[in-house]
Amino acid sequence: MLPAIHVPTSAAGLGIAAVQCLNLASCFNEASSPAPYSKFAAAVPEKQALVSSRTGMFVIYAPALVVSSIALATAPAANGREALVAALLAAHMLKRCLEVAFVHAYSGRVALSLSCAIGSFYALVCLLITATQRGVPHYAGAPVAALCLYAVGELGNLYHHVLLAKQRAGQQKRAKFPTSKAPISARGGSSDYVVPTGAGFDLCTMPHYLFEIVAWLGVAAAAGQLNAYLVALGMASYLGGRAVATTRWYEAKFGAKWPKGRAHLVPGVF
């Protein structure tokens, strides 16, 4: 059973929640003009200070890992969930950093200013959730449903990240040693891209985004606070818009070879 959602009552709390609501429309901007990193890094102006994509991704996730780790180390026990929520956030950011180091295949560069901006946003999100958690009333009961959502989201996200990385690494190897059995591929930046297949990739373009949203919902359910739910909804909006942009990118790369009818994010729905 999920706890009731705690709504802030102070003027500052309500103001922050109102600002968060503006982020719910991020899908529209991201779908039409995606942030220039990953596949969209080619849009970065040359005059900007650039770093490798791997370094840029560390800059994005490391500050949030530090913030959530500090929150975990200093968590009080007023409502019984402060340490849990901080631990879930820290585990998520640690997972992302480990994926950057050992899973993902990167190419190209990204603007350092963009990485710093996104990294600051993630750090502020973790600070907002953990700081607000200290004012949430005490509630009893194990957050089983919340932890199940979180576990399914994180494991599903990791599985599809590994699957995608293996397919791309395999294509890079085949690019050096071509065979007649090579899968459908196209050049993207300095590395080859393939039409992702297998598991959720057969149903939608970005199944790893879908599972990440599920993980954020798990964090929100464990926190039981409006700000955390608005973060989850904001992430869903942002990732939904980026999923649309990514589908268009794949369609432009592969043309008629891209599977028609493949959903952007949610199979059979969106």
**Domain assignment of residue 223, given as a range:** 19-178+193-257
Q: Which pLDDT belongs to residue 24?
A: 96
Range 85-102 average pLDDT: 98
Q: Which pLDDT belongs to residue 187?
A: 46
Residue 92 inside a domain? The answer is yes
Q: Which pLDDT belongs to residue 137?
A: 86
Residue 162 inside a domain? The answer is yes
- pLDDT interval class at 142 (50, 70, 90): confident
Q: Which pLDDT belongs to residue 37?
A: 85
- Residue 183 scores a pLDDT above 70: no
Do the Cβ atoms of 44 and 53 come closer than 8 Å? Answer: no
Q: What's the pLDDT tens digit per position in 229-263?
A: 999 999 999 999 999 999 999 999 999 999 998 99
Q: Which pLDDT belongs to residue 36?
A: 87
Q: Which pLDDT belongs to residue 171?
A: 64
Q: Which pLDDT belongs to residue 169?
A: 80
Residue 183 inside a domain? The answer is no
Spell 128-163 as b/e; 16+ CB within 10 A means b. bbbebbeebeeeeeebeebeebbeebbebbbbbbeb
Q: What's the pLDDT tens digit per position in 9-38?
A: 889 999 999 999 999 999 999 999 999 888
Question: Which tops the pLDDT comparison, 108 or 2?
Answer: 108
Do the Cβ atoms of 60 and 122 come closer than 8 Å? Answer: yes
Residue 226 inside a domain? The answer is yes
Q: Which pLDDT belongs to residue 253?
A: 93
Residue 262 inside a domain? The answer is no
Number of domains in the chain: 1
Q: The pTM is what?
A: 0.91
Residue 133 inside a domain? The answer is yes
Q: Which pLDDT belongs to residue 178?
A: 56
Do the Cβ atoms of 91 and 154 come closer than 8 Å? Answer: yes
Residue 206 inside a domain? The answer is yes
Spell 195-230 as b/e; 16+ CB within 10 A means b. bbeeebbeebbbbbbbbbbbbbbbbbbbbbbbbbbb
Question: Which tops the pLDDT comparison, 48 or 180?
Answer: 48
Residue 267 inside a domain? The answer is no
Crossing angle of helices 82-102 and 112-133, in 10° steps, is 160
- pLDDT interval class at 40 (50, 70, 90): confident
